[in-house]
Amino acid sequence: MTLRSRFTLFTVFWLIFILILYNIFVYFFVIRVTTRGELQLLTNKADLVIESLRKRGMQGLDEPKLLSDLYNYNEMMRIVVGEQIVNKVGTDEELLSIPSQYQVYNYSDTMQINGQRVLFLSKPIFDQGRMIGTLEAARRLTVLDSYLQILVGALTVTSIGAVVFAIFGTYWFTSRLTGPIGQMVQTMREIDRSGKLYRVKLNGREESVELQQMVRAFNQMIDRLDRTIESQKHFVADASHELKTPLTVISSYADMLKRWGRDNAAVRDEAIEAIAKETERLQNLIRSMLTLAEAEQDNWLNVSRFDVVSVVRELSEVLGKTFQRNIRVHSDHHFVYMRGDKEKIRQLLLILIDNALKYSKEPIDVRIRNQKSGIKLEVTDYGLGIPESEIPNMFQRFYRVDEARHRSTGGSGLGLSIAKKIIDVHEGSVEVYSKPNSGTTISIQLPRKI
């Protein structure tokens, strides 16, 4: 069953249930109010008769005019003394045949006579504290019942009209409600059929805020998938291109060894060295690609609390000894703690310092700033620098800035992409300040989260 049908049936069911309860309440409330009015009318007539008797000194109980002045055609009135009817008025034999009720208190009841409702009233007559008789009155509720039939008909017609209106109204409303959902389903099916990504377009109708948010979220997801697919296509193309070169070199030198390199020591040594170098490049490239692939997993980080200063000093000391370079560490505090993946932060610093060492012959400065907003890391070199137009692209995969960063540096072109991924998963940000021949500063802002 569709959502539209379920919503329509649910709404109509509860509307019918509420209408039934409402109609029952109105029907019995009207009966109660109108019957009470009819009873009050009979009570007033009985009071007038008893008051008239008191004025006469309780004389003339059998006088016909006593009751005829208050008589109505659909009523019966009589005075009963003991078990004898001493005075009565009325032409309706069915009302006159009602057994008398000799009661010492006020009594009223609604009874059925041949399918018609009759209101009966019995009121005692007292003279100086002594009961001398009973005044009884009965009144047919024919007119009232006819009005009730009209009321039932009106309630029935209005209820049916309300149900019909609810069915069409709910169906129309749910059509507008589920229209964008249907478009999304149709778009998904078209995407599944054609393999192309499409966005959902509203038809200019006034949709609810929730539907607009849902369509907007769907379109944002499609845009993100589109960007991801395009990025993957570029990554595959770039990776194929990067892998093609070392494989071509290895294949060429292997073919050269087969032909004449076995007997030529110089050719053989050159081929072995070239193959070893390109093999190392392949290993580094594949390792970097695997790192980027692992970074897409949710459990890539191993979060712990650690001292950033000690990590930077240890890494700078190792790299300084390895490359025989001066790496200076600056920090306002002896200890700066944060929560994150210690090894990933170390890898991030290794990539940035390694790049600084490759493109600068001057000392490298690493600064650690403990701020209220978080921890700021800066790596500064005083080398070639980067043109301002190239800065937005430097974190893209396999991207190299013109001839300044070429294959002779031995990089895979993925280092800064891995660094950017580490910054993103730590919910940080990065800024680059550089000018050609004036050096480069990469500034990273990381949340402390202690």
Q: 14-62, pLDDT tens digit by residue?
A: 888 999 999 999 989 988 898 888 889 888 988 888 888 888 878 778 8
Nearest to 141 by CA among 51, 36, 45, 257: 36
In one letter, which amino acid is 43? T
d(CA 342, CA 344): 6
Q: What is the pLDDT of residues 233-249, one digit of tens each?
A: 766 776 676 677 678 87
Average pLDDT for 165-190: 78
- What's the pLDDT at 21? 92
| 70 DSSP assignment | T
pLDDT band, residue 207 (cuts 50/70/90): low
Higher pLDDT, 306 or 251: 306
- What's the pLDDT at 378? 94
d(CA 288, CA 225): 23
In one letter, which amino acid is 405? R
Higher pLDDT, 445 or 332: 445
Q: What is the pLDDT of residues 277-294, one digit of tens each?
A: 888 777 877 777 777 666
- Structure tokens that stand for 312 in this block: 């930077």
Q: What is the pLDDT of residues 295-309, one digit of tens each?
A: 666 567 788 999 999
d(CA 195, CA 200): 16
- What's the pLDDT at 407? 47
d(CA 398, CA 384): 19
- What's the pLDDT at 404? 45
d(CA 424, CA 428): 6
Q: What is the pLDDT of residues 95-141, one digit of tens each?
A: 888 888 777 888 888 888 888 889 999 988 888 778 888 888 998 88
pLDDT band, residue 449 (cuts 50/70/90): confident
**259: helix, strand or coil:** helix
Q: What are phi and psi of 285, to 5 degrees?
A: -65, -45
d(CA 301, CA 344): 8
Burial class (CB in 10 A: 0-12, 13-18, 19+), 100: middle
d(CA 183, CA 202): 9
pLDDT band, residue 167 (cuts 50/70/90): confident
pLDDT band, residue 383 (cuts 50/70/90): confident
Full DSSP string of 174-201: HHHHHHHHHHHHHHHHHHHHH-------
pLDDT band, residue 411 (cuts 50/70/90): low
pLDDT band, residue 367 (cuts 50/70/90): very high
- Inter-axis angle of helices 209-256 and 265-294, nearest 10: 170
Q: What are phi and psi of 199, to 5 degrees?
A: -95, 150
Count of CB atoms situated within 10 Å of the CB of 122: 21
Task: Indicate if the pLDDT at residue 405 is higher than 60.
Answer: no
Q: What is the pLDDT of residues 140-151, one digit of tens each?
A: 888 888 888 898
Nearest to 123 by CA among 60, 66, 77: 77
- What's the pLDDT at 396? 76
Average pLDDT for 373-393: 87
In one letter, which amino acid is 87? N
Task: Name the least confident of 203-207, 251-255, 428-432.
Answer: 203-207
Nearest to 336 by CA among 376, 365, 301, 379: 376
- What's the pLDDT at 10? 83
Task: Name the least confident of 207-221, 268-282, 344-358, 406-420.
Answer: 406-420
User: Do 421 and 295 contact (CB within 8 A), yes or no?
Assistant: yes
Buried b (16+ CB within 10 A) or exposed e, 66-84: bbeebbeeebbbbbbbeee
Average pLDDT for 236-264: 75
Task: Indicate if the pLDDT at residue 170 is higher than 90.
Answer: no
User: Do 250 and 280 contact (CB within 8 A), yes or no?
Assistant: no
d(CA 417, CA 394): 8
